[in-house]
Structure 1
Amino acid sequence: MIPDPDKLADKQLVHRALSGDAQAFGIIIGNTEKLVAQIVCRMVSNVEDRKDLAQEIYLKAYRSLGLFKHGSKLSTWIAQISYNACMDYLRRKKLFYPGEPVDGPGQTTADGQMYRKELAGILQAGMEKLQPVYRTMLTLYHQEELSYGEIGEITGMPEGTVKNYLFRARKALKERLSWYYGEKEMKPRGDDGDG
């Protein structure tokens, strides 16, 4: 069996960081900061709190680096720390309640680009209205392109639960966007499309 080059690189970086090489931990931060930022920005709306959380996440990762077992990618392990730190933050602020209900095109190239940009903005606005966990699930799966298993490692949820949350997140987003268009632009009032 051929060793995974990412895991080998992770092992070397962790070993160097544990040996006191600050530059190695800087590389770890550089390799994971986009993923951490995605998780924190999806789960936490307060900009100042986001900065504090990011610092807290990397401080915890640094202090816990000796506990990393190399069973998964280092980025997955740090994403798990990020997710847990954000969930702790949401619980402290009483912003997360499990099971909480979620409220519920032939174009030219230039037109197509404008349409895609507008659609991306609409999707982003719709996602911002979802529960933090749903936003995070959609981001990890669709934007970061992580597998159900990797998301399960990050969140501590079984794969079946991850799939369920993703299904519910997509449904909630679809309902929100349908409501937006149904009420504001596309359909006459009262025509919800349901029989």
Structure 2
Amino acid sequence: MRTLPTSSATDQQLVAQVLGGNTAAFGQVVQRTEGLVTQLIFKMIRHPADRPDLAQEVYLKVFKNLAGFKFQAKLSTWVGQVTYNTCLHYLEKKQLVLLDPAEAVPDDAAEDGRRALPPATSDDPETALFDQDLAGILGAAIEQLPPLYRTLISLYHQQELSYEEIAQITSLPDGTVKNYLFRARKQLKQHLLARYHRHDL
């Protein structure tokens, strides 16, 4: 039976190849998921020195537990869930807070705000420079949010995951994900308006 190249293999084929001893297939698992894993670790963990060890721990867990993956979600979503839980365990061990309980009070309404954060890019050098400056301002403001809010903003607006996928990764209900995203964007807007004049943004 011909083995498909790992780059074009489905999740099921890729997992089967890894479990069959194909090390290149596991390299493809890493390549397909490293962007998501990196974003989760960077948004949840503030200490740069701890991030590489956590990434290594994530992929060791993925390799060790791959036989138990039941394909109830995409492989990348499952790897994201392993990453999120690994980071949670780290934070608990360090007695660090993912989200202040005062921030967890639900709002009555949550707006959708579909993919509104990343600035548009332009071929015009002056506009591109402005977009770069704006992206820097926005990135710095996002870093001021609580770790959970930073993480949800990253998953939704940068990784472009659905509410359902984010809920699977974080084990939060869909409604809670939407509510926390609303609160995160609200805090982000308040931070930006407090620090910069409207005409500067």
For Structure 1 versus Structure 2, the TM-score category normalised by the shorter chain is 0.7 to 0.9
Distance in 1 (CA, whole Å) between partners of 2:134 and 2:71 is 39
1:97-141 Cα offsets, whole Å, 9 max, x none, are 543457xxxxx9332111110110001100111111101100100
Q: Identify unmatched segments of 5+ residues in structure 1.
A: 1-7, 103-107, 187-195
Among residues 170, 173, 180, which one is paired with 1:158 in the alignment? Answer: 173
1:61 maps to: 62
2:147 maps to: 132
Is the 2:43–2:151 Cα contact (8 Å) retained in structure 1?
A: yes
Matches within 5 A, 1:12-31: 12-31=13-32
Is the 2:99–2:148 Cα contact (8 Å) retained in structure 1?
A: no
Q: CA deviation at 1:57?
A: 0.4
Q: CA deviation at 1:55?
A: 0.3
TM-score (norm 2): 0.81
Residue 75 (1) aligns with residue 76 (2): yes
1:33-68 Cα offsets, whole Å, 9 max, x none, are 111001111111211210000000000111110110
Q: 1:177 to 1:100 in 2, by over 3 A?
A: farther
Q: CA deviation at 1:173?
A: 0.8
Distance in 2 (CA, whole Å) between partners of 1:101 and 1:37 is 28
Distance in 2 (CA, whole Å) between partners of 1:176 and 1:100 is 20
Which aligned segments of 4 or more residues in structure 1 are displaced greater than 6 angstroms?
Answer: none
1:16-42 Cα offsets, whole Å, 9 max, x none, are 111121111111001111110011111
Distance in 2 (CA, whole Å) between partners of 1:80 and 1:132 is 16
1:193 maps to: none
2:187 maps to: 172
1:181 maps to: 196
Provide the secondary structure at the position in 1 that maps to 2:27. helix
TM-score (norm 1): 0.83
Distance in 1 (CA, whole Å) between partners of 2:42 and 2:151 is 9
Distance in 1 (CA, whole Å) between partners of 2:65 and 2:182 is 33
Q: 1:97 to 1:149 in 2, by over 3 A?
A: closer
| Percent of residue pairs identical | 48
Distance in 1 (CA, whole Å) between partners of 2:136 and 2:97 is 25
Q: Identify unmatched segments of 5+ residues in structure 2.
A: 1-8, 104-122
Distance in 1 (CA, whole Å) between partners of 2:170 and 2:176 is 10
Question: What amino acid is the match of 2:187?
Answer: A
Residue 111 (1) aligns with residue 112 (2): no
Larger radius of gyration: 1
Question: What amino acid is the match of 1:33?
Answer: E
2:157 maps to: 142
1:46 maps to: 47
Q: CA deviation at 1:95?
A: 1.8
Provide the secondary structure at the position in 2 that maps to 1:157. coil
Equivalent pairs, count = 175
Distance in 2 (CA, whole Å) between partners of 1:30 and 1:122 is 30
Provide the aligned C-alpha RMSD in A.
2.2
